Amino acid sequence: MYKPENKNKWDSLYDPAKITWFAKLEEAAINWYFAGAFGKTILSASGIKHGKICEPGCGSGMTCAQFAKQGFDITLMDLSYNALQKALSVFEKFSITAKFTVADLFHIPIQDNQFDIVFNQGVMEHFKLAGLDPSQGISEMLRILKKNGTLIILVPAYFSPLFFVHRFFKLFNLIEKYWPYEDQEFLHKRELYEMMSKGGCKNIVVRRVWSSLFFSMIGYCKKE
C-alpha cells in the first residue's frame, strides 16, 4: 500500500493520538450496530449474493469487513493512509483479505466496469462545503461499476437525530473542538437525487434507511 508524503485532514481524523471522544463514540456505534445494518441495506438494494465490491472513502472499512466474511471480493480505497491502516487492522483481526488503495475519489485509479457494487457511506456530504462538486465523484464511481451493477450512496439525513446533535454543537460553538468533521451537510432526498442524477445515474431510488434509526438516507441505481 503506497504511503503519500503529504498528510491531509482525514489523516488527522484517523490519527489515534488526535481522535476526539465523539469520533470514538461514532466508531463504537458503527462497529456495534451500523456496519451490520448498512451491510444488509446495501445487499438488499443490489440484489446480489456474491461478486466484487469497491468502497471509495472506506474509512475503517467495517461494512466491507462484513461483506468479506460472506465471500465478496473487496477493494477498499481512501484518501487517508491512516484510514486504510485502520481498515487493514480490522481485516487482519478477522483474518479476511481485501485490496487497499490510497486514492482520490475524484480520480479513481481503476479501470472501467470492474465491480458489481460501488458504494460509500458518510462521504458525499463533505464535498460541497469544501468547494467540490460531489456529482463528479458519482461519475467516477459509476465509471468503475459493471453494467447492471449497483451504485449506492449513504448520507446523513436532514432532520435525523444526528442533525439535531450537530445543531446543538454548532449553537454552542463546539463543532471545531468536538465534532469530527468541519464540513458536513445533512441532505434532503431531493439533494441526493439531484447529485446522483447530475453524476449520470438513471432510475434512481432515494429513501430513508429505517434500520439506521432514522440517521441515514440511501440513494441507489443500476448502471445501464
- pLDDT, one tens digit per residue, over 16-26 is 666 665 566 56
Q: Residue 5: its pLDDT value, please?
A: 47
pLDDT tens for each residue of 186-204: 999 999 999 999 999 999 9
Q: Residue 35: its pLDDT value, please?
A: 86
What is each CA distance from 203 to 85, 194, 224, in whole angstroms?
Answer: 36, 12, 9
With a CB cutoff of 8 Å and minimum separation 6, the contacts of 218 are 41, 45, 152, 153, 154, 205, 206, 207, 208, 209
Cα dihedral 167, 168, 170, 172 in deg (nearest 10) = 160
Confidence of residue 8 (pLDDT cuts 50, 70, 90): low
Q: What is the mean pLDDT of the chain?
A: 89
Per DSSP bridges, beta strands 145-156 and 115-121 are parallel
Q: Residue 34: its pLDDT value, please?
A: 80
Q: 3 pLDDT exceeds 60?
A: no
Name residue 190's amino acid: R
Of the listed ranges 5-9, 102-106, 171-175, the one predicted with least confidence: 5-9
What is each CA distance from 145 to 55, 59, 63, 222, in whole angstroms?
Answer: 11, 20, 19, 9
Q: Delineate the domains of the chain, giving CATH numbers in brackets.
A: 9-222 (3.40.50.150)
Are 152 and 196 contacting, i.e. CB atoms less than 8 angstroms apart? Answer: no
What cell numbers appear for 31 in the block?
Answer: 462497529
Q: Residue 212: its pLDDT value, please?
A: 87
Mean pLDDT of 42-57: 97
What cell numbers appear for 128 in the block?
Answer: 460541497
Q: Residue 18: its pLDDT value, please?
A: 65
Confidence of residue 1 (pLDDT cuts 50, 70, 90): low
What is each CA distance from 27 to 30, 35, 134, in whole angstroms?
Answer: 5, 10, 24
Q: 36 pLDDT exceeds 50?
A: yes
pLDDT tens for each residue of 135-192: 999 999 999 999 999 999 999 999 998 899 889 988 988 887 777 666 689 999 999 9
Axis-axis angle for helices 35-46, 62-69 (nearest 10)? 60
Mean pLDDT of 43-69: 96
